[in-house]
A and B are shown apart, each in its own frame.
Chain A
Amino acid sequence: EAGVTQFPSHSVIEKGQTVTLRCDPISGHDNLYWYRRVMGKEIKFLLHFVKESKQDESGMPNNRFLAERTGGTYSTLKVQPAELEDSGVYFCASSQDWGRKGNEQFFGPGTRLTVL
């Protein structure tokens, strides 16, 4: 079974440019999460999809970030325009169920974003 995949693995862009990150969850996983780790700090939650609906987007830093999950399969996270503080590693995770089951979240390898 294929794991969670993310594309690209690295992205280097200039301040003010746009970048789109993609996440393909494990097939059949309704839940998809985005997290971000800024260098040396904790991994922070960004948002949670259940199928194509945003269940929780309380971690999205501002309106320069736009996440979509059309059709409830893969998800994209667009940053427009990118700022220096957006640099970090963006992780995607997926899980099969939610609620009281505490199901394991399977993580992708992350996308390392560098904004110059």
Chain B
Amino acid sequence: AQTVTQSQPEMSVQEAETVTLSCTYDTSESDYYLFWYKQPPSRQMILVIRQEAYKQQNATENRFSVNFQKAAKSFSLKISDSQLGDAAMYFCAYRSYTGTASKLTFGTGTRLQVTL
């Protein structure tokens, strides 16, 4: 079974600075997806960024980028030029690429605080 580990329960960053959230995972599969989801306080969880394991290029979405290290099974999220609206719970998630199993396996989350 796959597992996802987020070792940072809480992180803090100053506005306009850069922060990196860590995620490691364990799997025996070679093909899969990795995701970062964001859940702002009292709001719905939304997808931030997605990475397909077969792609060597790291995914980027505006100020959000990932450092995907397949051999090390590491998938960190970098937030550049942090904004107050980035304050949220961030969840790393894994999904198998093949077969009918499309469930997401999540980590425990990292609460990000953004300070002035």
Contact = CB atoms under 8 A, between A and B. Distances in A.
Nearest to B31: A100
Contacts of B44: 3-4, 107-110
Interface string B33-62: 100010000111111001010000000000
| Range, interface on chain B | 20 to 34
A48 B43 CA distance: 23
Contact of B104 (A3, A40, A105): A105
| Range, interface on chain A | 20 to 34
A3 B43 CA distance: 12
List the 10 closest A-B pairs by CB distance, nearest first.
A43-B106, A107-B45, A45-B103, A102-B33, A42-B108, A98-B102, A42-B106, A109-B44, A104-B47, A107-B44
Interface of B: 4, 33, 37, 42-47, 50, 52, 91, 95, 97-98, 100-109
